Chain A
Amino acid sequence: MSKRRAFLKVAVPAVLFPLAAMLIMGTVLRNPYVEGLPFGVVDLDGTSLSRTVVHNLKRHPTLAVDDTLRTEDEARRALEQRRIVGMMLIPRDYYRDLRANRSSNAVVVIDGTNTVIASNVQQAVSTVMATVSAGYQMKVLESRGAGPETAQAVLSNFSFGERVLYEPTLGYQAYLIHLSTLYVIQMVFFSLFLVPFLIERKNALGIPVSPRDLARRLGPLWLIADLAVSVATWGGFQLLHGLFGLPEHADLLRHTALITLFLMQLTAIGLVWASAFRDPSIFTETYLSLSLVFMMTAGITWPAWAMPPGFDAVTSALWPMITVALPFKALHLKNAGWAQLAPTILQGLAFTAAWGALGTFFYIRSRKRSLAHE
C-alpha cells in the first residue's frame, strides 16, 4: 500500500465518522425541551377554580391537553391505548371541599415507562398546581383582612431560587454528545485502525516487528489519526455550538491533549487485544459486541459516586473511557483548566505505562508464537 493510500485510509474515517456522528446526534437531540405531550383532563367539578386549572394546563408548553374526554373510563382507556401519556381527574365538589378545608384531591395518572416523559409531565402538572395554589392562597389571605401587599409579603417571605450552571437547559444533547463522541473516536481508532494494523503486522511473515520497528511504522499513522480526529471533533463542537447553542469552552490545545491521552491509553490496551486475536474480523466482532458495555460504564450515564463500591476502580483499571469521559465533558462544558485536568493526565500516563509494558510483552510473545505456528 502506498504511503498516500495508507494516509487516506486513516485520515478519512478519522475525520468523517466522528463528525458525521456528532452532527446526527446534535440534530436529533437539539431540542432540550419536551413539548406537546398528549395529556387528558376530565373536569367533573366544572367550577371557576377547576376551569382555571384546565386553562393553565392548556397554556403549559409541555402538554397538549385533550379536554374532550368526558369520563374517567374514557381517559383511562386513552392512557392504556397510549393516545395520551397522562391524565388528570378533577373530582366533583373539588372547589367546595377546598373552601371547607376538607381533603379532596385531583388524581393525576402518568405512564411511567419513559422516565423522561413522566418527569416532564409531572413537573408541568406541579408547576400549574403551585401557580393556581398561590393565587388561591392570596385570595384566602385577602378575604381574612390582609391587604394585597401584606398577603404577598407573607407568602413570599421565605423564597428559594435555583440556578443550573454550565448547561442551564439540562438537555440531552450536552448530556450525551461528549460521551458518544469518545465512543465513535474509540471505534474508529481502535477497531478500524489500530488493532487490525497490529494484528496484520503480527501475522506478517518476513518483516521485523521489534518494538522500535513497530513504533517507526505505526508512529506516523498514529499521529495522523490523532491530529485528524482531534481537529475534526474540536471543529464538530464549534459547529454544534454555532448551530444549536451547545455550551462550548474548550481550546484546541487542551482538547487535543485529552484526545491524545485517550488514544495513548487505547494503544497500550490495544497491544494486549492484538496479541489475543489472529483474525482481524473476529477482533472487530468481539470489540463491537462489547463496545456498548465500555460506553455505559464510563461514568456518564451512571456516575462513579453512584456505582457499587470498587466498581469504578475496576473499570478504570481495565478500560480508559471512564478516566477520560468526565474530564472531557468538564473541559467542554466547564472550561476545565490544566490544573483540573492534571490528575486525569497523570492517571492516563500511568495506565499507558502499565498496560503498554504488559501489552508489549504479550504482543512480542504472540508474534513469536505466530511465527512458530507458520
Chain B
Amino acid sequence: MPLPRQAVFLTLGVPLLASVVLGYQFSPQKMIHVPTAVVDLDGTSLSRTLVHDLERTDAMTLTAFPGSEDELAELLQTGQVAVGFIIPRNFAEDLKNSRGPKVLTLYDGAQMGAVSNAKAGMTEVLATIRAGFVAQVMTGRLGMTEEAASTALQSLGYTIRILGNPSKSLAAFLLFGILMSVWQMTAAILGCEIAHQGRPSLGSLWTGLGLSSAVAAASFILCLIPPVLWFGLPFRGPGLELPLLAVPASAALITLGAFLRLAVGQRAITLSIIGLLPITMLLSGITFPSAAMPVSFRDWSSALPYSHFALPLRDWSLLGGGAEVAAGHALWLLSFAVAAGGLATWLWNWRRQRLEAAHV
C-alpha cells in the first residue's frame, strides 16, 4: 500500500525548509554588535577615551549618543538600543581626585539573549579599562613604580576552557534542537496517517510503519545538511553513523504517531495532541536546564523520546565522538518503538474486531 503522499511530502520537505530558513537566520552565529547608546555627560578627553575603548569591542556597536539620561531611557523603552552606558559629569576630575566616579550600564531586560552577550563583553572591557586607570593612580598618587603597581594589581590567574561551543554560538546551541522539534512533529504526523483503518491487514500496517520510518530517517539526516554545509554550523560527529540515531528515532516517532491515532481514533484530535510535541523541547532541558526546573519536572527529560535523539545529536555536533555517544539512546528509542508498535498493533486488532463485529 502506498504511503500518504502529503504526509511524506511534509516529512521530507518541512524539516529541510526549516533548516534552510532558520539556518540562514542564525547564520551570523552569535548576537554580536548589540545596539548600544552612550551618554557622555563629562565630555572630556578621558571620557572620550573610555568611549573609544568601548567602540573597539565586537560585543556591541555604539549606535546612538543621546544628550541626556531621559533620551537614553526613551531609546531603551522603545527597544532601539539594548544597552545604555552613562559616564557621569565630572568623571575625569573625580577620578583625578580619587572621589570614586561610577559609570553606569543599563540593560534592557526584555532582550535577554542580546543582553547576556553584551553583559559578558561589557564586563571584560570595563575590567581592562579599570585596571589601566587604577594602575595610573598607583603610579601617580602612591608613587609606586610601574612594576610594583603591576604586582599589586596582580589578579588570581585562571584560564577558562569551554568545551564544545567556546564562542557560545547561539546557532550551535539552538539550531539542531529546533530542527529536531520540527522533524519530530512531521514524523509523528506521518505515523498518524499510516495508522488508519483503511489498511487491509496487519502486514500492511507494519510495512507502512517500516517504510515511513525509512522516509523519516532520510528526512532526519537531510535536514542537518544545509546548516552544516552552507551556514557554518559545526558537526564533529561521525556522518556515517548518523543512521544509528536517525533510524531508531524515526521508528519511535512513527510508532508514537500511529499509537496515538489508534488510541484516540479521530484524526483531528490526534493532530491536536501531536501539536503539543514542541513542549518536549522545553522539558528535555536542551535549552533551559532541567536543574533549574521545579523538582516535579526534573526527571521528565529521560522519559521523552526527544531527549534521546536531540541531546546526543547536539553532543555529536559540538563534542564529536563515535557510536558510543548514541548507542544507549538508540537502544532506548528502539525499546520505545517496540512498546509503542506493540500497543499500536493491539489497538489495530481490537478496532478491527470491533469493526467486523459491527458489520456482522
Binding site for B on A (CB under 8 A): 24-25, 27-31, 33-37, 49, 53, 79, 88, 98, 101, 103-119, 122, 125-126, 129-130, 132-133, 136-137, 140-141, 144, 146, 150, 153-172, 174-175, 187, 191-192, 280-282, 284-286, 288-293, 296-297, 301-303, 305-308, 311, 326, 329-330, 333-334, 336, 340
In Å, the complex CA distance between A101 and B144 comes to: 16
A-B contact pairs, 19 of them (CB 8 A): A27-B297, A28-B294, A30-B294, A34-B291, A105-B157, A108-B160, A116-B288, A119-B168, A137-B153, A160-B130, A162-B104, A163-B104, A167-B110, A169-B109, A282-B6, A285-B189, A293-B182, A306-B114, A334-B77
In Å, the complex CA distance between A82 and B278 comes to: 26
In the assembled complex, how far is the CB of residue B199 from the closest CB belonging to chain A, in whole angstroms? 17
Once the chains bind, are B106 and A110 in contact (CB under 8 Å)? no
Chain B, Cβ-Cβ closest to A285: B189
Asked if B159 lies at the interface with its beta carbon under 8 angstroms from chain A, I say: yes
In the assembled complex, how far is the CB of residue B216 from the closest CB belonging to chain A, in whole angstroms? 12
Once the chains bind, are B165 and A115 in contact (CB under 8 Å)? yes
Given contacts A110-B163, A158-B130, A306-B28, contact A98 B156 (CB under 8 A): yes
Selected from B28, B109, B286, B292, the residue in CB contact (under 8 A) with A31 is B292
Once the chains bind, are A292 and B278 in contact (CB under 8 Å)? yes
Given contacts A109-B163, A284-B271, A285-B189, contact A168 B109 (CB under 8 A): yes
Instruction: Scan residues 62-91 of chain B and give those whose CB is less than 8 A from a CB of chain A.
Output: 76-79
Which chain B residues border A114 with CB–CB below 8 Å? 173, 285-287, 289
In Å, the complex CA distance between A150 and B134 comes to: 12
Once the chains bind, are A108 and B159 in contact (CB under 8 Å)? yes
Once the chains bind, are A292 and B18 in contact (CB under 8 Å)? yes
Once the chains bind, are A144 and B144 in contact (CB under 8 Å)? yes
Binding site for A on B (CB under 8 A): 6-7, 10, 14, 17-18, 21-22, 24-28, 31, 33, 35, 76-79, 95, 98, 100-116, 119-120, 122-123, 126, 129-130, 133-134, 137-138, 141-142, 144, 148, 150-166, 168, 170, 173-174, 178, 181-182, 185-186, 189, 193, 267-268, 271-272, 274-275, 278-279, 282-283, 285-289, 291-294, 297, 314-315, 318-319
Once the chains bind, are A326 and B182 in contact (CB under 8 Å)? no
Chain B, Cβ-Cβ closest to A141: B152
Which chain A residues border B272 with CB–CB below 8 Å? 192
In Å, the complex CA distance between A217 and B155 comes to: 73
Given contacts A306-B28, A334-B110, contact A137 B21 (CB under 8 A): no
Which chain B residues border A172 with CB–CB below 8 Å? 112, 287-288, 292
Selected from B105, B134, B162, B189, the residue in CB contact (under 8 A) with A288 is B189
Once the chains bind, are A115 and B151 in contact (CB under 8 Å)? no
In Å, the complex CA distance between A249 and B275 comes to: 31
Chain B, Cβ-Cβ closest to A293: B18
Once the chains bind, are B156 and A115 in contact (CB under 8 Å)? no
Given contacts A174-B110, A293-B182, A311-B25, contact A118 B130 (CB under 8 A): no
Chain A, Cβ-Cβ closest to B27: A308
Which chain B residues border A110 with CB–CB below 8 Å? 160-163
Selected from B31, B98, B105, B315, the residue in CB contact (under 8 A) with A160 is B105
In the assembled complex, how far is the CB of residue A243 from the closest CB belonging to chain B, in whole angstroms? 12
Selected from B10, B22, B102, the residue in CB contact (under 8 A) with A286 is B10
Given A166-B110, A293-B21, A307-B25; 9 other pairs, CB 8 A cutoff: A109-B161, A111-B163, A113-B318, A114-B286, A125-B160, A155-B134, A288-B189, A292-B182, A301-B174
In Å, the complex CA distance between A168 and B108 comes to: 9
Selected from B31, B101, B282, B314, the residue in CB contact (under 8 A) with A113 is B314
Once the chains bind, are A289 and B186 in contact (CB under 8 Å)? yes
Given contacts A285-B10, A288-B189, contact A107 B182 (CB under 8 A): no
In Å, the complex CA distance between A289 and B123 comes to: 41
In Å, the complex CA distance between A297 and B111 comes to: 15
Chain A CB count within 10 A is highest, among B79, B110, B153, for: B110
Once the chains bind, are B31 and A303 in contact (CB under 8 Å)? yes
Once the chains bind, are A154 and B156 in contact (CB under 8 Å)? no
In Å, the complex CA distance between A119 and B278 comes to: 25
Which chain B residues border A282 with CB–CB below 8 Å? 6
Chain A, Cβ-Cβ closest to B108: A165
In Å, the complex CA distance between A193 and B43 comes to: 59
Chain A, Cβ-Cβ closest to B186: A289
Which chain A residues border B160 with CB–CB below 8 Å? 108-110, 122, 125
In the assembled complex, how far is the CB of residue A278 from the closest CB belonging to chain B, in whole angstroms? 11
In Å, the complex CA distance between A176 and B107 comes to: 18
In the assembled complex, how far is the CB of residue B264 from the closest CB belonging to chain A, in whole angstroms? 13
In Å, the complex CA distance between A269 and B21 comes to: 20
Which chain A residues border B285 with CB–CB below 8 Å? 114
Once the chains bind, are B157 and A104 in contact (CB under 8 Å)? yes
Once the chains bind, are B137 and A154 in contact (CB under 8 Å)? yes
Q: When A and B form their complex, which 8 residue pairs have the shortest distance between CB atoms, in order from nearest?
A: A167-B109, A112-B162, A133-B155, A289-B14, A112-B165, A105-B157, A106-B158, A112-B164
Once the chains bind, are B178 and A112 in contact (CB under 8 Å)? no
Chain A CB count within 10 A is highest, among B151, B170, B285, B289, for: B289
Which chain B residues border A330 with CB–CB below 8 Å? 77-79, 110
Once the chains bind, are A24 and B109 in contact (CB under 8 Å)? no
